[in-house]
Structure 1
Amino acid sequence: MTAPDVRRHDDADVLVGDVASALLDRLEAAQARGEVPQIGLTGGSIADQLHRELARRAPDSAVDWSRVVFWWGDERFVPRDSEDRNARQAREALLDHVGIDEANVHEVPASDEVVTAEEAAEAYSATMRSEGAGFFEVLMLGIGPDGHCASLFPGHPVLEARDAIAVAVHDSPKPPPDRVTLTFEAMDRCRAVWFIASGEGKADAVARALAPDGSIEETPARGVRGDETVWWLDAPAASGLPT
């Protein structure tokens, strides 16, 4: 694993445009090699902007979206039609518009499909074992102001999860309280991890995540590294980093 690559952009629009270009290029290259790339999506406002930009560019891209496999780094354990679900956000902004193969979209089971978040985590893990490639081409992650990524929160017991793909999260400090998240071990199995952060509210967390010293317990985003790790930042999100 190499040191993180930090890429700074003037504003959120430039950031989104550059991430979209890089992702499309990467998917095109993987498909040109004869692969069916598997990617992990994230939620949040900057991810929503990215998904909409990808959908806008899709008609002019060489990416065959029916030959892309979709996963999520985490999901809220709520009913399938809830606006809180990351998958619903991604479907409305991207997946409903680009000609996907529904068999390639792997959502975490919802609370109206299974009884507990533990059951959802077990089912998601089983699907990843049977349908996953063993690694992500790209796993996209956000970072919270507290330094969390996916649903791995500072000081939370699930930070210690081992020998597991996905686990249930209860008592999340950010609502809704029940969630399912990939573990550090699962997220580290990536050709590329891309953190995407926008806004001054993320600046302190970004700085802590990229600092030479610090703990994963305090800043969980420090704990995820791929073969390549890129931090895509707009100027406000990067404002706490050394110049």
Structure 2
Amino acid sequence: MTHDRRVLVHADKAALITSVATRFLSKITDTLHDQGHANVVLTGGSVATSVLEAINASPDRDSLNWSKIDIWWGDERWVPRGHADRNEVQARAALLDHIDIPAANIHAFPASDEGLDIDAAADRYAAELKALAGPDSPVPQFDVTFLGVGPDGHIASLFPHLQGIRENDLTVIAVLNSPKPPAERLSLTRWVLNSSERIWLVVSGTDKASALGLALAGASRDEVPVAGIRGRHYTDFFVDGEAAAEVPENLIAQPN
């Protein structure tokens, strides 16, 4: 059963980043102890990258057995391999290139210069997900899924009023008309994101306050896609004071 969504407000962006990084290391330590393996879904954006940098800088970084962790992405820009705009490139620079994790455990989306069209790339990532899934699921059990939130309320590459947010069958879609450049992207679908044990939305800045407030006040998923995001057991919004400006007060929890 899905628990209620929680909003944990931090004093500022720096405190937010430190808190999420510390919580991640603690939670994945517990997950590895309990089940021996973890699947983590990463997102892009400056705040998410800063969290990965904070994980990298932590003295507890190497206490994790990274060989038991598989890394996935919620979405990716359809640009060439190694392009600075790829979420994968940013994550590698921030953390993945600095830890002892097998290359096979890093599941990057295909790139635009690898001989596939974008639809075939979506199919390939769907097949990779399926290959590491349990017998009754098309995707692995995601233990922690990071998401950011755009000023328009988009999550991953699922944007307001576009078909992607309404997709209920496919696990991975090609996005051809993103209102935010580049126009072509790959994305996990909403129901796949919602299959995650824990979804952690990390949100900073005044430009996110309206979308966050609307989502938590009951806006529709088509209008504000983040409103349609709920993990299987936990859905936590880690926000700074600026992003929390329009959050209903009764939803705000105290960080611990």
TM-score normalised per structure 1: 0.96
> How far off is 1:3 after superposition?
1.1
1:216 aligned partner: 221
Matched, 1:237 2:243: yes
2:9 aligned partner: 8
Assess, with a 3 A threshold, how the Cα gap between structure 1 residues 160 and 60 changes in structure 2: closer, same or farther: closer
> How far off is 1:66 after superposition?
2.0
Is the 2:55–2:61 Cα contact (8 Å) retained in structure 1? no
Assess, with a 3 A threshold, how the Cα gap between structure 1 residues 105 and 132 changes in structure 2: closer, same or farther: farther
Matched, 1:162 2:163: no
SS in structure 1 of the partner of residue 63 of structure 2:
coil
Equivalenced residues, count? 242
Gaps of 5+ in 2: 135-139, 250-256
1:123 aligned partner: 124
- Distance in structure 2 (CA, Å) of the matches to 1:176 and 1:73: 16
Amino acid at match of 1:196: V
Deviations 1:47-94 (A, max 9, x none): 111010000115555211222100000000110111110000000100
Matches within 5 A, 1:1-243: 1-57=2-58, 61-132=62-133, 134-211=140-217, 213-226=218-231, 227-243=233-249
SS in structure 1 of the partner of residue 120 of structure 2:
helix
Amino acid at match of 1:17: T
- Distance in structure 2 (CA, Å) of the matches to 1:68 and 1:155: 35
SS in structure 1 of the partner of residue 88 of structure 2:
helix
Is the 1:114–1:120 Cα contact (8 Å) retained in structure 2? no
- Distance in structure 2 (CA, Å) of the matches to 1:64 and 1:189: 24
> How far off is 1:160 after superposition?
2.1
Gaps of 5+ in 1: none
- Distance in structure 2 (CA, Å) of the matches to 1:58 and 1:129: 35
Amino acid at match of 2:80: P
Assess, with a 3 A threshold, how the Cα gap between structure 1 residues 225 and 234 changes in structure 2: closer, same or farther: same
Amino acid at match of 1:190: S
SS in structure 2 of the partner of residue 202 of structure 1:
helix
> How far off is 1:237 after superposition?
0.5
Percent identity of paired positions between Structure 1 and Structure 2: 38
Deviations 1:146-199 (A, max 9, x none): 000000000011222121110000110000000000001111111100100001
SS in structure 2 of the partner of residue 164 of structure 1:
coil
- Distance in structure 2 (CA, Å) of the matches to 1:81 and 1:20: 25
Deviations 1:81-129 (A, max 9, x none): 1111000000010000111111111011000113321111100000000
